[in-house]
Structure 1
């Protein structure tokens, strides 16, 4: 189990022919959040705030999305990426935690709290 970009990098660059990727037909859409943390950046001054905000804005630009796909990250906006780079990303139905589990709070309670689904699967019987 790995992030898609790490698996693709391992198979295509680091260990050619040593690993296979098993792609499920369905997966959870994982979108790690990105933000400017004002409390941290403001301590470094106005230039740091400006740089952090510019970087955040850049992440979703056509240039950055093209670069992301080149380096094995599935771009949010695929139409900006090279077609050859997009070919490495298999078609996978991606669902959200909200759609399938009713949101993070419900998923946490049902699956990961003490006595939840994870405990039923993982703990010795």
Structure 2
């Protein structure tokens, strides 16, 4: 990484950062590859949780910490779920599994990244239900 990642920076480095943050459970409402408010807020939250000054700026050291944190979290969660049959996966575990399945589908050529992006951006119908009768 040649330069720090911060507000209004664009590029592949920002896309990778956003993917890491999203996999860690942070919502990403910024455009892919654009370091915006959502990305900055996620970075600040991560920095605060790690006892760092919440600047919202990502340098090489922080990016490495994010990468390591993601790997440790996934391993810790996997071993915790295997430790007991009664443990039910939480939403973050489901999100991690969904990302892994999606990556495999793309790697095997079953779907393309463009097809995935189009499906995500496709408007979804809204179901309106009537309130129950009392």
| TM-score in terms of structure 1 length | 0.27
Where relative contact order (Cα < 8 A, 6+ residues apart) is larger, the structure is 1
User: Per residue, is there more strand in 1 or in 2?
Assistant: 1
Larger Rg: 1
